[in-house]
Amino acid sequence: MLPARPVTGPKAAEKSIFLVAKSPELLTPLRFQRIFPLPDTVPRASATTPSDTTYYKNFYYYFYNMQVKSLDCVGGARVAVQFVKPAITLNGTVLTSNFASNNQWYLNGNLIAGATNQTYTPLASGIYRVDVTTPSGCISRSDDFSFVLPAKGTGDGSDISLAVFPVPASTQLHVAFVATKNEPLSLMLKNTIGQSVYNSAQQLTAGPFNTIINVADLSDGVYFMQLKIDDKTYVRKITILK
């Protein structure tokens, strides 16, 4: 960039952008308002020696007064938009959204057809979620909610409402039940030849319990989940399929 000649007169006080050409082959002036007349083209400047301190006087200098007009529009103040995240609460065996309308319920990531009310009564154990669509069309999701369908009879694990899902599993296996009292828990996964591929132990607190077992690194096939609570043992056959 080379120094520019000073400008005098009324235009000199305006804010301008200075574009200086450095030995161009050919310049065609841009279609902006010019401060002083220029020819349509500018010839290439001749070579100079380092000692020539006035060589820049052989150049034309373009002074453009660039102005932006906002069409007299006045910008409004920014207003923060408050939005409450959807949340699920459990009332007995009924799931309830904190939004009265525009709800869509999901089970294990799959849309439940027709489930668009504020409440939903689950028909199966699983991970539930509710999406809410705002008036502007944006969709906000609730956190996942693990639900265990209460037992309605006798059978393997029915006394604790044991639920193991999804089956087949690909990356995660959910285990949920209701502990009747404070007692120790041991949870294992074994392959078909009896080798343990997963093992965990902890102390239970009476009430609903759920955990997620990462099975993404296990090979496809049949496994047996062994759940031991105090002196009771429950076994479920599961399949891993990716």
Per-residue pLDDT tens, the chain, 242 aa: give them: 444 444 444 443 344 344 444 444 444 444 434 444 444 444 444 445 566 677 666 666 566 666 655 555 555 666 666 678 999 998 878 899 999 999 999 998 999 989 999 999 888 888 899 999 988 788 999 999 988 776 544 346 888 889 999 999 999 999 999 998 999 999 999 887 778 899 999 999 998 999 999 999 999 999 989 898 887 888 888 999 98
Domain definitions of the chain by residue range: 1-73, 88-147, 158-240
- Please count the residues of the chain: 242
From residue 183, how far is each of 75, 101, 186, 230 by CA, in Å? Answer: 64, 42, 10, 6
C-alpha R_g of the chain = 37
The answer to whether the pTM exceeds 0.75 is: no
CATH tag, 158-240? 2.60.40.2550
- Written as six digits, the tokens of 31 are 């279609």
